[in-house]
Amino acid sequence: MSLSPYWLRDNCPCTGCRDPRNGQKLFQITDLPEGLAVAGSTEADGELTVCWSDGHESRYPLSWLEETAETSDGDGRTEQGRRLWAAADFSRGLPEADWSAYLAEPAERVAVLGAVRRFGFAVLRGVPVTEGKVLEVAESFGYVRETNYGRIFDVRVEADPNNLAFTSSAIAPHTDNPYRDPVPTLQLLHCLLSDAEGGDSGLVDGFKAAALLREEAPEAFGLLAGTPVPFVFRDRATELVAEQPLIGVDALGRIREIRFNNRSIGTLRGLPAAELDAFYAAYRRFAEITLRPELQLELRLGPGDCLIFDNVRLLHARTAFEQHGDRHLQGCYADLDALASTLAVTDRRLAALDALAELFEGEGAGEYLGEDVTMAQHMLQAGALAEAAGAPDHLVAAALLHDIGHFGGSGLELMKGTDNRHSHTGADWLARHFDPSVTEPVRLHVAAKRYLCAIEPAYRAQLSEASEYTLQVQGGPMDEAEAAAFAALPGAADAVAVRRWDDLAKDAAAATPPFADFRPLLMRVLNLTAGTSI
C-alpha cells in the first residue's frame, strides 16, 4: 500500500495530535518537518503502526485506511448523493410529517430533515396557525437568518409592496435573495390563511433542471456555470449586489448551487454582443427547462402547512391569485449547515440509544463481578432506585448508566486486580452524547465510594465482599485532603447519590424494569423530545 506521508501524518489520530473531544488538530501543517518520511511500519491487530522519521508514532485502524481509499460523497451539498427529481416522483405523496409527531419523535425529525437534504424540501402539517410560529419551526433545527425583509416576513397583498412577492401576480420559478452573498440556503413558508382562488405553490428541482441542460446542451451549461451574473436589489433602505453564476459548480464540476431569479438579474457588462447572445440563448434554454410541466411539483399550502425548502437548489413559484381572497403566509430564512448538523446529531443520539439497548440486552446479561445480579439488572435497579427517589432526569440517567464502562468485556480485568478505570471509560464514552450533568457523576462514582468510606465508617461496614475487594484495588478510602478536594468537585454530590443507589442495586429478588422503560427519559436527557435545536 503506497501512502502519502504528509497526508498520513496529518491524519494521526493520537491524542497528542488531535483533541479527543472535537477532533481538532493540535498542530499546524507547517509544524511538520521538511522531508517527513515513514521510518518503519508494522501491521497487527487490525492496526497500522507507523514510526516517523521525526520520532513520532502513529496508529491507524486498517478499516480507516480502507475507507479513506474510497471517494466520499462530499458534504451532501452537491448533486452527488442527492436524489434529483421530477414531479411524478412524488405521485404517491410528498415528504411530510405532522408537527406534533415531528416534535415528539426524533425518527420523524430525521425523516423530515433528511428529506430536505435529499430532495430539497419537506412539508410539516398541523403547525399551529399562530403568527411567528415559523421562527419556532426554524429554531427546531437551526438558526433564523435575518435579512432586509426582517427575521420574519409576511407574504400577502400589500398596498405598497417593495417586492413582487407581496402582490397577487403569478411568479415564475425562482430562488430567493440571489443578490445576497451568502444567500440564505433555506426558506420556510408557513401558511396562516388561504381563502383566495389560486396562489398555489410550485417547486422545481433546479439541480435536475441544470442536469437536463448539461445533458441536452453541454455548452449552454458551461456558459451558465462560467459566467458570473450580477443580481441586484435596491430599495430605499437596501442596496445589494452579488455576482454569481446561475449554475454554481464546485471545483470538480458538480452542481452545487442554483441562483435563478429573472426579476433581479442585473446588467451583464463588458461582454461583446456575440457572447451576450450566447449567454442569453443559454439562459433562455435553462429557463424553458425550469418551466417544463413534468418538472413542476404543484402543492397547495393550507393553513397550518409549513414548507421547508433548499433555496440554493429548488426554485419555487406561485400561481396568480384573486386580489380579494385572503392569503397570508409567514416566512423566514435559515441555513442548511445547521439543519445537517441537527440531523446528524439526532441520528447519532438515536444510534447511541440503540447501542445502549443492545448492551443492556446482550452483554449486560452477563455476570457482575461476583454479585447475585447481572450487570444489566444492577444498572437497571440503580436507575429505578434513582427514579423512585424522585431524582431529576440527568441523575436517573447517571444511575442507570454508571457502570457502562464495564461493558466491552473488561470487567474481568478489574477482578484480576487492575483498576480498569471503568468510571472514566464510561464517562468518556457517554460524553460523546451526554452532557456533564450525566457524565460527571458517572466519572466520580468510584471515587465517591472511596470518599464515603473516608467520611462514613458505617458506610464501609455495609459494603459487599466484592465491593470491599474492589475498594482496595481502587486505592482504599480517601485521606482527609482527598476527601475535601472531592467534595469541592462539580457533580460530587450527584456522584455520592449515584453511589448509594449503586450499592443498593444488587438485589436478585427485586423486580427489575426493562431498559425500554428508561428510553423516554434518556430521550429527554438527550434533548430528543425537546423540539428545539440540539
Site for a second copy in 64-93 (CB under 8 A): 67-72, 74-78
- Cβ distance to a second copy smaller for residue 131 or 280: 280
Q: How far is the CB of 372 from a second copy (least distance, A)?
A: 36
Residues of this chain, 34-53, that bind a second copy according to CB under 8 A: none
| Cα 379 to Cα 514: distance, rounded to the nearest angstrom | 11
300 binds a second copy (CB under 8 A): no
Nearest to residue 438, comparing CAs of 505, 320, 349?
349
Nearer to a second copy by Cβ, of 49 and 167: the residue is: 167
Q: Which is nearer to a second copy, 257 or 305 (CB)?
A: 257
Residue 307 phi/psi, 5° resolution? -95, 130
Which residues 424-483 are close enough to bind a second copy by CB under 8 A? 431-436
Binding residue (CB under 8 A) for a second copy from 226, 302, 417, 513: 226
**Listed ranges 3-11, 47-55, 122-130, 300-308: which one lies at the site for a second copy (CB under 8 A):** 3-11
* Distance, CA of 498 to CA of 496 (rounded, Å): 5
Pick the closer one to a second copy by CB: 21 or 92: 21
Q: CA-CA distance, 289 to 279, in Å (whole number)?
A: 15
Give, in degrees to the nearest 5, the angle at Cα 127 between 318 and 199: 15
Q: What is the x/- site pattern for a second copy, positions 328-347, by CB under 8 A?
A: -------xxxx-xx--xx--
Query: Is 168 a binder of a second copy (CB under 8 A)?
Result: no
Within a 13 Å sphere around the CA of 118, how many CA atoms are in the beta-carbon half? Answer: 11
Cell of 155: 407574504
CB of 286 to a second copy, least distance (A): 9
Residues 6 or more apart whose Cβ sits within 8 Å of residue 193: 129, 303, 326, 327, 328
Q: Which of 112, 145, 489, 121 is nearest to 297 (CA)?
A: 121
**For a second copy, how many residues bind (rule: CB under 8 A)?**
107
| Cross-strand pairs, 144 | 334
What is the C-alpha separation between 471 and 458, in angstroms, rounded? 15
- Examine residue 325 and tell whether it contacts a second copy (CB under 8 A): no
Least separation in angstroms between CB 150 and a second copy: 10
Nearer to a second copy, 287 or 466 (CB): 287
Residues 7 to 36 in contact with a second copy, rule: CB under 8 A: 7, 10-11, 19, 21-30, 32
Q: What are the Cα distances from residue 259, in Å, to 51, 166, 180, 285, 298?
A: 50, 20, 10, 15, 21
Q: Which parts of 172-211 interact with a second copy (CB under 8 A)?
A: 172, 179-183, 185
- Using CB under 8 A, which residues numbered 243 to 262 contact a second copy? 243-245, 250-252, 262
Buried b (16+ CB within 10 A) or exposed e, 218-247: eebbbbbbebebbbbbeeeeeebebebbbb
Nearer to a second copy, 184 or 411 (CB): 184
Nearer to a second copy, 189 or 289 (CB): 289
